[in-house]
Structure 1
Amino acid sequence: MQWKDVAQNWTAFTPRILTRWPALDEDEVLAIDGDQDGFLTYLSKTKGEDPVAAQMELADWLMGEEPADVVMDPTRDNARIKASGQNIPAGEDALSDDKRFGDDDTPEPPVAKAS
């Protein structure tokens, strides 16, 4: 994931940041408001390490997966749903029934025992 994604969704990422670095204070993390330099300075000061080590630690964390609660943004979901319509061939109704997979409204014929 990219830092810009973290910065844009700072409050959603804050619990994940606090899970990764439990020694950080939640109010101070929220006050940083997505500023990468501010976060690196705070992280290195809190952990008592040099800024290069903090930068490497942050880079490792950014290589991880994006949390689901950040991905599930209604504005992004709507865009994904609209984009999925581009995969429907011309002339096909997205809401029509596909006979190849059976018709859910028609009952299945009974299965008879072999005599």
Structure 2
Amino acid sequence: MDADLDKVFKALADPGRRVLLDRLYADDGQTLGQLCERMDMTRQAVTKHLKVLEEASLVVPIRRGREKLHYLNPAPIHEISERWIGKFDRGRLRALAELKKKLEGETDG
């Protein structure tokens, strides 16, 4: 179990991989070509990042004919949330996050 969580934390540590996850969250079931669009990295780099995400079970590839579609699997992130955030009072954390957003919004304006 801890080895699986280590893979998830490692996968989430890279900003490029987080962008890929965000793109899959916005539009699930994309091909490698679609994921490479608007990315500031080579196709080979995207492939390597997807492999790390797949090993962490954050992305699940499914073949459809000749296409390989990539889908987001949020379950590992949920497990981390339950283990690490669930220990704390979620209400207080949510209130602090809202306060942070409001304060940061005031400095942006």
Q: TM-score, normalised by structure 2?
A: 0.30
Larger radius of gyration: 1
Which structure features the higher share of strand residues? 2
TM-score, normalised via structure 1 length = 0.28
